[in-house]
Structure 1
């Protein structure tokens, strides 16, 4: 009899298993082969961790107040700003996204935020990931609640996939959770060692609920790993991605989508945007990675015919202060831009006014658009879900005719 202590010490999956929902039923090989291919629309969320500086991402280069606030950090037109409209331009590192913008595949939303903003990375990210107000503390995420509401009759843990080692709050529902993995092949390998196989096939004695739960979860995880591994063999990308962790994660996401994995939501992160010191080089490198990665991702999906059914949402937990600091960087701010990318966009380009640099709140941008209006639009108009129920019973104004 394998003890609970031995199980926890010996299983390399111990940290991963806790992210798999407990309501699942065992899926045998025949069940896995009979599952339908992905169909309908899917959402890919890209999180920019650390608080990306929106003003040096979508640059208000026609506004003298921008250069007054950032005498050395402000990016000048002669540096290669990629012109959009409304006096705005992409950071010079974002050539890939500029190409997609020119093709009508990108929408820019300025000054997105929420009332009474919080400048803590952890708290503000919780607010964005949970889809809650600043005075609410919620233990589920907006995408997790989507999985709860949209997948009531299904038993698939991979309806939501996060390409990472751990699962974000955004992907955790009350009943269902997404599944976190970096690579289907490696995830599958973890379930194949002899110890895992023996534990997975054993039946625990007694009625110890914690042990029962762990054994059951292991069986479910093994089944899911097998499905993702086998299904993931269908398509291998020939597109060149940036040789970075973010690039590799986007490539994995594209391969899962193009292989027909039955998932509606994917989640990918790019970190490092907490640029208090010497921002320009660090942010430029990250934005180049973001831009090139999304350009390759788009090419990949287009080649497989899956781009029109895919919407990408790019966000960060907050922007930065308008004025540069003494270290040629920027400190935590408030409202920020959000990017939407996809072949099914009905409205493209810069969709609202440029940030107002004259009417600030203690040196910070005032938000024009509540981020939950963006979520409501995506949930209702793109995914066909009940946005009001998912967002806590409040009806946020949706952006008409966007998707």
Structure 2
């Protein structure tokens, strides 16, 4: 297969020498982790509604789902939104779980600050300059890690070397232009390294994606849709030399208006994307854990425009063969007004760092000392959630 270097790939590599794909060497072990950052503040009460809560219908008003409207019952309290129905087989196979009434330590309602705390693993905005997953990469001896997107999110930024990849609709450069660029940068160690590693990443992606029809040729122009991107990411991860840790992003959750109509689209994209990952990973799905998490939840009550506003407690969705599934993990606080955070939000009863610690400890084998120290500073009192990862 001929080398294919897109302009995006080369410029991305040459702009950020620390995030180029030299880390994509043969990794130790077969366990895989995918973190999907749901940007915008997903309404966990909409994605996983507590239909069995006696205050649910009155508290949510026009945002309440009809119990007979296609929601998939998980237990006596919780259900899945109908748009998440494609995930029901995973629940039945015990490969899907939900963590509810969960939040980061952040208690304000800014997207930017909330995402900073979520991704840095700190207790306040802008206290840390790197991401908890990057620090976990360093603690595990630098297993291969990949950001799927045009930029590396804070979650994966830091001292440990990671890679980045996104499909480009632009045509590859002809071999003569590639040779000219190689000669041009040959005298500069940094640019030469960026160029060569960019070439290696592109060649690896071309090889790994030969079975992904949506990534072939001009079809890459439409491959930014989350399910197609997830399928491609799964193929990269399934390769023997592929990454073992991965971060993806999905937006569309900031539903200040028309929420009933708007939420189905991103929820459906998430469900289809998780299934695309499972298909592409094949046998490796059995040792994979996917966690989808947002910076905060949303208000319990409907606002004046048929939507919800920035809130606090929310929900995480976990999938994969490594998940001890068919469970909703929740110390449910209830939706009675007196039980709400500041009289308006779902009250969080679990620190999200407890979930991340569980995943890193029980799935990836990160030592507890590192979890309580360098990875999540000032978190010794945050204990992992037992029974979340399949033994």
Gaps of 5+ in 1: 1-9, 206-210
2:36 alignment counterpart? 46
> How has the CA–CA distance of structure 1 residues 345 and 300 changed in structure 2, closer, same or farther, with 3 Å as cutoff?
same
Asked if 1 retains the 8 angstrom alpha-carbon contact of 2:99 and 2:317, the reply is yes
* SS of residue in 2 equivalent to 1:109: strand
Do the aligned partners of residues 237 and 225 (structure 1) sit closer, same or farther apart at CA in structure 2, a change above 3 Å counting?
closer
Does 1:223 pair with 2:200?
yes
Please name the residue that 2:334 is paired with: 356
Q: CA offset at residue 284 of structure 1?
A: 1.2
The 1:353–1:199 alpha-carbon spacing in structure 2 relative to 1, beyond 3 Å, is same
SS in structure 2 opposite 1:267?
strand
Report the count of equivalent residues: 368
TM-score, normalising length: structure 2: 0.84
Q: Does 1:80 align with 2:70?
A: yes
Counterpart of 2:264 in 1: which secondary structure?
Answer: helix
Structure 1 residues 38 and 355: alpha-carbon distance in aligned structure 2, compared to 1, 3 A threshold: same
Matches within 5 A, 1:327-338: 327-338=305-316
For the structure 1 residues 19 and 192, does the alpha-carbon distance in structure 2 shift closer, same or farther, using more than 3 Å as the test? farther
Consecutive aligned runs of 4 or more in structure 1 exceeding 6 Å deviation:
22-25
Name which of 151, 170, 192 aligns with 1:166: 151
Partner in structure 2 of residue 7 of structure 1: none
SS at match of 2:345: coil
Deviation per residue, 1:160-188 (Å, 9 max, x gap): 11221111111112242x222123x879x
Q: Does 1:108 align with 2:98?
A: yes
| Aligned partner (choices 170, 186, 191) of residue 214 of structure 1 | 191
Q: Distance in 2 between matches of 1:243 and 1:198?
A: 30
Write the distance in 2 (CA, Å) between the matches of 1:391 and 1:320: 25
Q: Counterpart of 1:288?
A: 268
Counterpart-to-counterpart distance in 2, 1:356 and 1:114: 19
Quickly say closer, same or farther: Cα 1:197–1:169, change in 2 above 3 A.
farther
- Please give the root-mean-square deviation of Cα atoms over the aligned residues, in Å: 2.9
Matched, 1:366 2:347: yes
1:147 paired residue number? 137
Judged with a 3 Å threshold, the aligned counterparts in structure 2 of structure 1 residues 191 and 334 are, in CA distance, closer, same or farther, namely farther
Distance (whole Å) between structure 2 residues aligned to residue 138 and residue 90 of structure 1: 35
Supply the distance in 1 between the matched residues of 2:160 and 2:151 (Cα, whole angstroms): 18
Where in structure 2 are there 5+ consecutive unaligned residues? 1-6, 215-221
- Does the Cα contact within 8 Å between 2:21 and 2:164 map onto a contact in 1? no
2:219 aligned partner:
none
